[in-house]
């Protein structure tokens, strides 16, 4: 089993620990993601411990490759996301989580059963990578595939109609005259 994005809880010093991982195509493929074609994400995570509470600050930086919504060519999107978690271990997660939400402010509270010996952040990292993607994913103006843009604007269809109509061997060649008003 790959230990990326897993924090072992036993033996963590109270002063804090730092972890570094890489999320690439293989990592995202383990979630059956069809939108993201490739990724190069560096994750750095600092963990502070205090009793049965852990503070996790994770920074996700890099790029993901998706299809452009307009031309379907590859589009590289930068990812720069900070994730702040408060991890609480408890036997009664529902009441503890309600109490923590009021105390934590800018941190997402995650409650785990007290018998856990590690924290798996894979799903959380994946979710935040996906959340960093814009709703509309298109190249900046003028950078889309020009052939596709020409096709979408209708110019290709007009050129094909003109070419087919001018072909004298075509049984529809006479229709061109009707379209032109002759």
Per-residue pLDDT of the chain (182 residues; tens, 9 = 90+): 467 898 887 778 878 899 999 999 889 888 887 789 999 999 999 998 877 778 899 999 999 999 999 999 999 999 999 999 988 877 764 555 455 444 456 888 888 777 778 888 999 999 999 999 999 999 999 899 999 888 888 765 555 555 554 555 666 666 766 766 65
CA distance 95 to 64: 38
Other C-beta atoms closer than 10 Å to the C-beta of 127 total 12
In three-state secondary structure terms, 55 is: strand
> 66 is written with which tokens?
């998706």
Distance CA 80, CA 109 (A): 21
Angle made by CA atoms 157, 163, 169, in degrees to the nearest 5: 135
Structure tokens belonging to residue 156: 């290709």
Positive or negative, the Cα torsion across 101, 103, 107, 113?
A: negative
Tokens encoding 167:
């072909």
State how far the Cα of 180 lies from the Cα of 127, in Å rounded to an integer: 57
Under 8 Å between Cβ of 97 and 109: yes
Q: Summarize the chain as % helix, strand, coil (round to 5).
A: 30, 35, 35
**Cα distance between residue 106 and residue 28, in whole Å:** 27
Q: What is the pTM of this model?
A: 0.73
């Amino acid at each position: 089993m790959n230990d990326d994005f897993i924090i072992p809880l036993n033996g963590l010093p109270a002063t804090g620990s730092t972890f570094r991982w890489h999320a690439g195509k293989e990592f995202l493929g383990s979630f059956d993601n069809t939108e993201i074609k490739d990724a190069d994400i560096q994750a750095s995570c600092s963990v502070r411990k205090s009793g049965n509470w852990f503070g996790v600050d994770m920074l996700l930086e890099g790029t993901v490759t998706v299809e452009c919504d307009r031309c379907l060519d590859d589009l590289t999107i930068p990812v720069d996301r900070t994730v702040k978690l408060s991890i609480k271990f408890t036997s009664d997660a529902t009441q503890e989580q309600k109490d923590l939400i009021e105390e934590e402010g800018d941190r997402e509270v995650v409650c785990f059963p007290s018998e856990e010996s590690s924290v798996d952040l894979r799903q959380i990292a994946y979710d935040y990578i996906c959340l960093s993607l814009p709703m509309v994913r298109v190249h900046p103006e003028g950078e889309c595939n020009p052939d596709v843009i020409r096709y979408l604007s209708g110019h290709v269809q007009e050129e094909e109609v003109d070419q087919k109509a001018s072909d004298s061997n075509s049984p529809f060649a006479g229709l061109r005259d009707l379209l032109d008003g002759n």
